Amino acid sequence: MKKLPFIVLLFAAILLASCGPAAKAIPAPTAVPPTETMVPPTDTPLPPTATPAPRTLTVFAAASLTGSFGDIGKAFEAANPGVTVTFNFAGSQVLSTQITQGAAADVFASANHTEMDKLVTANLVAAGYKDFVTNVLEVILPANNPANVQTLQDLAKPGLKLVLEDKSVPAGAYSLQILANMSKDPTYGSDFNTKVLANVVSNETDVKQVVAKVQLGEADAGIVYITDAIAAPTLKTIVIPTNFNVVAKYPIAALTNAPQPDLASAFVAYVLSEDGQAIMKKWGFTTVTP
Amino acid sequence: MRRFFQRLSINNNPGWVFILTGLGLILLLGLPLLTLDWRAIGKNFFNSVLSPTALTALKLSLLTSTSTVLVAIATGTPLAYILARWKFRGKNALELLVDLPVVLPPSVAGLALLIAFGRTGVFGVWLNALGITLPFTTVAVMMAQTFVSAPLFVGAAREGFAAVDKQIEEAALVEGANEWQVFRFIMFPLAGRAFLAGLILTWARALGEFGATILFAGNLEGKTQTMPLAIYLGFETYLDVAIALSVMLMVVSVVLLGLM
């Protein structure tokens, strides 16, 4: 019991430390254009250094958007001083449930239309939402390719350890669709689907988990978005031909009950803008606006 | 109930201060659990409980958690005895090792298991050479459950052993009993109650394991998808099934706590 005052003090210190201003990453020094430093001092008062009230925009986004939206968030914060963008990345199906159960979000970016339509039905998103990117899927293999997978046919090799996303995850549903498409092709055979699914060792809760399991070498192969494969350059990949592949459409919308409605619309507009689309393209997405 | 009100009215006894401050926590604990029950009542409840996914998950959960308890008893009892009765160097470190999994987040446990015993893990490489792969198997589920729950059994059994009167033990030794006989006829029966408590805690914890399981064992119906995993995935698609499973787990937990 003698320790009690110390413990209380320790907790108080932790609380204080965690409530303090969040450590901001120091921006890399950028070369200042010399002309600016040469401007002679004038009597005209400087425009008041605008310190807008800090506002937080909450964006719920599909797990496959983790990297690209991280960049978009930083760019949006830079363009809107005082705004902090916080993200909730998870499988789109988790996010739509969280939102219908009352989670406070401003923007929802989904990896399929199904989850967005659920929000339209619940009157949380206005009908006529826009797609902002499309994505296709790809087979990923660990760098050392332990099962020696060379072609898509090899996915049916008995004993191969394949990880997919659960069928409730958009990418999981797309993967099942791709396998079904391939089974219709005589090159693969009508039992291709069954053989491949017999190799599934786990149905993960989102694409990033599939990437992690393949990256660790725990699984021999996985099916993920091409953008996830680009974000993990150590992985080997096998392209899925267009005639079997599925084009995943990603819609984005501001929520009707967004706590920050104007910021929410601004964010959606930014994602659809030239700058936003350029960032998405950099991460391997196919952009919808020319 | 009358005693309760008497407590409130005893002169100068500020009983209501305790009640009002405690009420916040009571509401936080009680409301969600009541809501879950309330939402579960409906014609869909039995359909959901009897759905193949739910039944498969229930079967797997019972199999794995019961195995975990048996492993915990077999390996935890001697360890608890050692910790309660022996004195040796490094005992503190050993105690810390046994206590650590109780406070560690399960995701840490899952990650640690994966990088140690995964196919490409530090020790997993050796196992793999012997033809044993652990991740994505039912054995992995049991390992994850044992990692997080067996320490609860060791803790309870250790307390039980430590509480046995040393004089009884010494008397037995004087009478010529060896250490095994002391353990078998004195320590084990006298620590019985603590054993039972530890056993139930371990079982309940194993039944509820989620984080370490999904990381180390993955999620495959009938093989590694236990009830908590089915609840998580059901939550995403079929809320009714998730709620029904949650209520089932809650009922089981209430029964288990009642046994203690």
Decide: residue B244, CB within 10 A, 0-12 exposed, 13-18 middle, 19+ buried: buried
- State the pTM of this model: 0.77
Q: Residue A6 has which token pair?
A: 């110390």
Q: Do A218 and B115 touch (CB under 8 A)?
A: no
Residues of A in Cβ contact (< 8 Å) with B39: none
Rounded to 5 degrees, what are φ and ψ at A28? -60, 135
Chosen for mutation from A216, A220, A235 (greatest number of chain B CBs closer than 10 Å) is: A216
Provide the residue-wise pLDDT of chain B in tens; the chain has 260 residues. 556 656 555 555 667 788 888 898 999 999 999 988 888 877 677 778 888 888 899 999 999 999 999 999 999 999 999 999 888 999 999 999 999 998 999 999 999 999 999 988 899 889 988 888 899 999 999 999 999 999 999 999 999 999 888 888 888 888 888 888 888 888 888 888 888 999 999 999 999 999 999 999 999 988 999 999 988 887 656 777 888 888 988 888 888 888 77
For residue B220, which residues of chain A lie inside 8 Å, CB to CB?
200-203
Smallest Cβ–Cβ distance between A202 and the set B120, B220, B236 belongs to B220
Structural domains of chain A sorted by starting position, each given as residue range(s) with its CATH number in brackets: 54-134+249-287 (3.40.190.10), 137-239 (3.40.190.10)
pLDDT score recorded for residue A24: 44
In contact, A139 and A162? CB cutoff 8 Å: no
Is beta strand A162-165 parallel, antiparallel or unpaired with respect to A200-204?
parallel
| Among A71, A111, A115, CA closest to A93 | A115
3-class SS letters over B92-149: HHHHHHHHHHHHCCHHHHHHHHHHHHCCCCCCHHHHHHCCCCCCCCHHHHHHHHHHHH
Q: How many CB pairs under 8 A join A and B?
A: 57
pLDDT at A50: 55
- Tell me whether residues B218 and A201 touch, CB distance under 8 A: yes
pLDDT mean for each 10 residues of chain A (290 residues): 76 76 45 41 50 86 92 94 93 90 92 93 92 94 94 94 92 95 93 95 92 93 93 93 93 94 95 94 84
Amino acid sitting at position B191:
A
Chain A residue with CA closest to B119: the answer is A218
Cβ contact, residue pair B219, A204, below 8 Å: yes
For residue B86, give both structure tokens: 């022996």
Top residue of A112, A200, A201, A204 to mutate, by most chain B CBs within 10 Å, is A201
A241 touches chain B (CB under 8 A): no
Identity of the residue in A93, A213, A219 whose CB atom sits nearest the CB atom of B237: A93
Q: Do B218 and A161 touch (CB under 8 A)?
A: no
> Packing angle between helix A66-79 and helix A261-272, nearest 10 degrees?
120
The secondary structure of chain A, three-state, reads CCCHHHHHHHHHHHHHHHHCCCCCCCCCCCCCCHHHHHCCCCCCCCCCCCCCCCEEEEEEEEHHHHHHHHHHHHHHHHHCCCEEEEEEEECHHHHHHHHHCCCCCCEEECCCHHHHHHHHHCCCCCCCCEEEEEECEEEEECCCCCCCCCCHHHHHCCCCCEEEECCCCHHHHHHHHHHHHHHCCCCCCCCHHHHHHHCEEEEECCHHHHHHHHHCCCCCEEEEEHHHHHHCCCCEEEECCCCCCCCEEEEEEECCCCCCHHHHHHHHHHHHCHHHHHHHHHCCCEECCC
What are φ and ψ of residue A232, in 5° steps?
Answer: -125, 75
pLDDT at A93: 87
Mutate to test the interface with B, among A145, A197, A202 (most CBs of B within 10 A): A202
Give residue A41's pLDDT. Answer: 46
Best to test chain A binding among B117, B233, B243 (most A CBs inside 10 Å): B233
User: Chain B closest CA to A46's CA: distance in Å?
Assistant: 52
| Block residue for tokens 């760098």 | A143
What is the number of residues in chain B? 260
- Which of B136, B214, B233 is nearest residue A161 as measured by Cβ atoms? B136
Q: Give me the residues of A, 17-76, that contact B with CB < 8 A.
A: none
Instruction: Please answer yes or no on whether A91 and B219 come within 8 Å at the CB atom.
Output: no
Instruction: Answer whether A218 touches B (CB < 8 Å).
Output: yes
How many Å lie between the alpha carbon of A161 and the closest alpha carbon of chain B? 9
Residues 118-147 of A with CB under 8 A from B: 146
Are B83 and B151 contacting, i.e. CB atoms less than 8 angstroms apart? Answer: no
In chain B, the residue whose alpha carbon lies closest to the alpha carbon of A200 is: B220
- DSSP summary character for residue B217: T
Give all domains of chain B, ordered by start, each with its CATH number: 44-259 (1.10.3720.10)
Minimum CA–CA partner of B239 in chain A: A97
